[in-house]
Structure formats: C-alpha cells, structure tokens
Amino acid sequence: MKFYKYQGTGNDFVILDNRKKDCPILSAEQIRRLCDRRFGIGSDGLMIMNEKNSYDFEMKYYNSDGKEGSMCGNGGRCMVKFAYQLGIHKDVYKFQAADGDHEAEIDTDGVISLKMKDVRGIKKFQNDSVLNTGSPHYVKIVTDVMKIDINKTGSEIRHSEEFDKEGINVNFVELSPDPSKIIVRTYERGVENETYSCGTGVTASALVCFHNEAGFNDVEVKTLGGSLTVEFDRFADGHYENIWLCGPAEKVYEGIVEV
C-alpha cells in the first residue's frame, strides 16, 4: 500500500489517497500498527482522502489508537497541502471532515489557513475552561508550562470521572507579557500522550486567551513543534466566528508499506 507522511508543526500523519477506492479496508489494529513508532511508520494519526461530491475531498481521521477521531486541525492543514501536491489547485479548498464542512487557503508564502467551526461558548470547569473546536478541549492556564509533567497531569484530567467516558484533550497554556502571544502544550486523547502540536487545541487555547473582548483577535501560539496563528472574531455574548488556524504543513516522505 502506498502511503504519504506529512507533518504540521511536528504533529505528524500517515495519509492514504483513496479517491479511486483502491485502499484496503484497515482494521483498528492495522491502523495502530501503522502509527506505531517502533513497528510501523510512526505518526500521531492516520488520514484517508476520499472523493466527495460537491467537495474537493473528504477527510477521514483516525487516532493512533486505531479509533476514528473527531476533527484534527493540523491534520486538515496537512490534507490541504497533500491535495495541492496531488495536483488539486484551488483558490479556496472545500472539504468535509468529522465536524462538518471546512474551507482552506494556501497563501503565497506557503502558510495553510484552515477555517474552523464556530464556537458558541466556553464553559467554566472549576478554574479552567472547556470548549469544543471540532474536538473537545480542556484549557488550563499555568505559570511555567515547560515545568509541567504533561503526560501525568494531562492523563489525570483526561481520565477523571467527568471526562473518562468520552475523553478530552488537555491543554496547558502559559501567558506572556504580550497578550497576543501564548505557549501551549497538549495531551491528546487517542494518542494518550503529549504531541508536538494540536491544531484544535491551539485554537481552543487561543479562544480562551482572547485579548480583545469584542472584535478581531490575532493570537500567536508557540508549541513544541513550531508556531501557529489563530485569527478570530469574538462577540460580546461570548461566541466566536471566522476562526482561522494558520501555519505550515510539509510532506516528509512517501513509500510502500505491507499490511
């Protein structure tokens, strides 16, 4: 089976082109194996590109545990770059993912900008925040994010009584003197580990850390794998629209793997 490997700020994915419906149907165990960093290709997730009427493509996303996942922001940006390198050239890409329709653009400098779903509100949980940006996220503000044991603390929150059944991604955010800049580290459900970057988590963290209560916000987010920008409009009633996740996505390599 032919595969492609892409990464967006260190969040890496195996991608399969199934537009001709010639990819084998993979079991959860096979997907786990392909994503395994010792016995397979190695990635945070696996994505399949399908044909879809009235769209440029459909994006199917699977976590590295083999289960079908919800929306993946960095994955979506990688899929758009993959589509471009397959010869699908559009001013505006339109595709369908687990959380519905998305648009994306590739800027002249190579930055891929992905439009995310609107967010109608942020819930408070104890002293932290919970919201859904295509995937469910928990956002916790901390003073020194690099000193946090992300896997230990993230796992405790993710598997707590409130979130264990459905699972939740856990983001730890450090603020900076510049209110438009934050640092984010994320523990991802389905990967059950810290990833170098999480697109929907970066988006969730930026929304929580808005610097303009009403109107346009532009938040620069530093992750272990690089920097992303989240642009959005915040309204006085606490909902968010025109949310764009912007950053690089690159092909790493392609090859043939036996399954």
Residues annotated as catalytic are 72, 198
Cβ atoms within 10 Å, residue 68: 12
Distances (CA, A) of 113 to 61, 71, 156, 240: 19, 15, 33, 17
* Region of residue 210 (left: phi > 0; alpha: psi -120 to 50; beta: else): beta
CA 241 to chain centre: 18
Q: In the numeric block, which tokens belong to residue 37?
A: 């960093």
Report how far apart, in Å, the C-alpha atoms of 219 and of each of 107, 224, 231 are: 18, 16, 6
DSSP 3-state assignment of 201? Answer: helix
Tokens of 234: 């915040």
Degrees to nearest 5, angle at CA 146 with 141 and 148: 65
3-state DSSP percent of the chain in helix, strand and coil, to 5: 15, 45, 40
CB 122 within 8 A of CB 207: yes
Say which residue the tokens 């405790």 belong to: 156
Count the Cβ atoms, other than its own, within 10 Å of residue 53: 6
